[in-house]
């Protein structure tokens, strides 16, 4: 008998084809002058930073601006003050949904400018009495600190933009954005993990050699994330699922085993994933062992009980008169599933299999996970 009705605990295995289409969003905000009052007729400038594009709009009589029809991307916002552009916001991701709100308050900008001037004055006082060499060393240190802060902000903005692109299934753009993020922060394991996921999703939109190439890039990114963070069970699990997509089942089995070792409380789920992968690979005996390992670590893992029952049923013998003789534990596994999930997705199948074995089905099962009335 073939193992069937397997509910895979595997994500991202389906292939999707997306039709390219123009995607646009909008931006809005209230503009206030240095006194905190609505500023009428202010020129708001909106510049796209991932590619070169410029837009502008004036605030209305209530000091509000609104610009629709902006292509998805990352933007900076500034305002014309006395013929000079004053920066307001950088790295603003624009996606679908409600308009992105970017308020402009020149009173806050004035306060920030005053604070900067005060800091500059304090710095001048601090350097008074220093030698030229000491001043040069301090100036170098300050520039390095400013460069590091700027780099960190750019990394954070780039990473957030990549997340938004991935959520909007713009996988090609997400791959490019996360690749840039790995250049800004090559030691950030979470960036490599997100790049890997984007690569695997992008591979799902391809076919043939193109899909294989993107898949290999995704596997490489997962390997880098694990190199930087080897004790993350989730990375090992996701890497295993990616390896399975590439039909590298022994490697996938090794990664899932590592995940289970690193995260014992979730070991049942990892071994269940392993069983699912092995079933897809046609390796039924190792799959049965994996489902049994999942049960050993979590006896109340209902789906693992069902799949283990299916595996055991495949080992049953059938006499010449059609009588099915199951191996020990087959009926117990299906009964346990029904005890845990009497209304679960495999309930009817489990009952049918028990009936085929001539086993009486206990109809008094109750959902053990349900909360009793009147009790928390």
Least confident of 92-106, 140-154, 182-196, 200-214: 140-154
Residue 200, Cβ neighbours under 10 Å: how many? Answer: 25
Contact 67, 43 (CB under 8 A): no
126, pLDDT greater than 70: no
pLDDT of 22 higher than 50: no
Among 110-119, 185-194, 198-207, name the one with the lowest average pLDDT. 110-119
Please state, in angstroms and as integers, the Cα–Cα distance from residue 202 to each residue in 56, 182, 287, following that order.
34, 17, 29
CA distance 190 to 294: 28
pLDDT for 6 equals 38
Inform me whether the pLDDT recorded for 119 exceeds 80: no
Q: Over the Cα atoms of the chain, what is R_g? A: 30
Q: Give the Cα separation of 37 and 60 in Å (integer).
A: 13
Question: Residue 138: its pLDDT value, please?
Answer: 61
Q: What number is the average pLDDT over the span 220-248? A: 91
Is the confidence at residue 107, as pLDDT, over 80?
A: no
| Torsion, CA 218, CA 221, CA 227, CA 229, rounded to 10 | -100
Question: Which pLDDT score is estimated for 215?
Answer: 94
Q: Per residue in 331-360, pLDDT tens?
A: 999 999 999 999 999 999 999 988 888 765
Other Cβ atoms within 10 Å of 294 Cβ, number: 27
Query: Comparing C-alpha atoms, which of 322, 370, 330 is closest to residue 353?
Result: 330
Residue ranges of the domains in the chain?
A: 25-122, 154-229
CATH number of the structural domain 154-229 = 1.25.40.10
CATH architecture of 25-122: Sandwich (2.60)
What residue has token string 């590439």?
A: 246
Q: Is the CB of residue 277 less than 8 Å from the CB of residue 249?
A: yes
Alpha-carbon span 181 to 154, nearest angstrom: 9
Sorting pLDDT into bands at 50, 70 and 90, what band is 103?
very high
The angle formed by the CA atoms of residues 170, 172 and 177, to the nearest 5 degrees, is 90
Report pLDDT for 36.
85
Highest-confidence range of 5-19, 321-335, 340-354, by mean pLDDT? 340-354
Mean pLDDT for the chain?
A: 82
Nearest alpha-carbon partner for 314 in 324, 322, 304, 305: 324
Distance of CA 208 to the CA centre of its chain: 25
pLDDT tens, position by position, 166-187: 888 899 999 999 999 999 889 9
């Amino acid at each position: 008998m073939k193992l069937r009705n397997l509910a895979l605990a595997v994500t991202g295995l389906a292939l999707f084809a997306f039709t390219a289409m123009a995607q646009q969003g909008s931006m809005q905000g209230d503009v206030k002058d240095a006194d905190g009052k609505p500023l009428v007729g202010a020129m708001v400038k909106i510049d796209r930073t991932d590619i070169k594009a410029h837009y502008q709009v004036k605030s209305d009589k209530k000091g509000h601006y609104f610009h629709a029809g902006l292509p998805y991307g990352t933007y900076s916002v500034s305002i014309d003050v006395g013929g000079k552009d004053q920066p307001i916001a950088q790295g603003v991701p624009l996606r679908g949904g409600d308009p992105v709100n970017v308020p402009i308050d020149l009173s806050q900008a004035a306060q920030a400018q005053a604070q900067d001037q005060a800091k500059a004055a304090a710095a001048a006082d601090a350097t008074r009495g220093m030698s030229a060499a000491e001043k040069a060393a301090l100036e170098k240190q300050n520039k390095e600190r400013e460069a590091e802060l700027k780099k960190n902000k750019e990394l954070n903005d780039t990473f957030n933009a990549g997340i938004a692109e991935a959520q909007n299934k713009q996988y090609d753009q997400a791959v490019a954005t996360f690749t840039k993020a790995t250049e800004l922060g090559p030691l950030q394991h979470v960036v490599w993990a997100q790049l890997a996921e984007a690569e695997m999703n992008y591979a799902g939109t391809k076919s043939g050699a193109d899909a294989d190439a993107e898949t290999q890039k995704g596997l490489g990114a997962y390997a880098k994330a694990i190199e930087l963070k080897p004790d993350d069970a989730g990375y090992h699990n996701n890497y295993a699922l990616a390896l399975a997509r590439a039909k590298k089942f022994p490697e996938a089995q090794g990664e899932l085993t590592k995940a289970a070792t690193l995260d014992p409380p979730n070991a049942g789920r990892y071994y269940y994933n392993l069983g699912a992968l092995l079933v897809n690979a046609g390796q039924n005996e190792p799959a049965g062992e994996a489902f049994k390992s999942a049960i050993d670590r979590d006896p109340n893992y209902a789906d693992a009980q069902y799949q283990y029952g299916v595996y055991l049923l495949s080992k049953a013998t059938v006499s010449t008169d059609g009588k099915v003789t199951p191996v020990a534990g087959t009926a117990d596994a299906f009964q346990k599933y029904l005890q845990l999930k009497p209304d679960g997705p495999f309930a009817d199948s489990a009952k049918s299999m028990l009936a085929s074995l001539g086993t009486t089905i206990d109809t008094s099962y109750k959902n053990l996970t349900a909360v009793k009335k009147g009790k928390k």
